[in-house]
Amino acid sequence: KNQVEQSPQSLIILEGKNCTLQCNYTVSPFSNLRWYKQDTGRGPVSLTIMTFSENTKSNGRYTATLDADTKQSSLHITASQLSDSASYICVVSPTYSGGYQKVTFGTGTKLQVIP
């Protein structure tokens, strides 16, 4: 069964500090992995996407890493800001085989940045 597990479930950090969120998956065969940011009361917004051959991808203060061998990904947030407070969702897609591709969502990590 395809699964995506994220840790920690929630996290509180001080403004300006760095943090790292983890994602482990069992989706196979693997195509790509995305990190989404979901603000409270809003829909998820894509931050990064990585394919099998990519090890790292940055988007401003967000840097995602991928180890396809161990099936792990991390999202590192540098110099956190209050606006980073949100849920971060890891989403894994299987290899394309035609038509609609059923992606697998993680439960998310809820990050709270405090002053």
Binding residues vs another protein (CB under 8 A)? 4, 9, 31-32, 34, 41-46, 49, 89, 93-94, 96, 98-108
Output 31 or 78, the one with its CB closest to another protein: 31
Beta-sheet strands, E only, within the chain: 4-7, 10-14, 19-25, 30-38, 45-51, 56-59, 62-67, 72-77, 86-94, 104-105, 109-114
Output 72 or 78, the one with its CB closest to another protein: 72
d(CA 75, CA 86): 13
Output 98 or 115, the one with its CB closest to another protein: 98
Angle at 110 between CA 109 and CA 115, to 5 degrees: 135
To another protein, the closest distance from the beta carbon of 60 in angstroms equals 17
Output 60 or 99, the one with its CB closest to another protein: 99
To another protein, the closest distance from the beta carbon of 50 in angstroms equals 12
To another protein, the closest distance from the beta carbon of 14 in angstroms equals 25
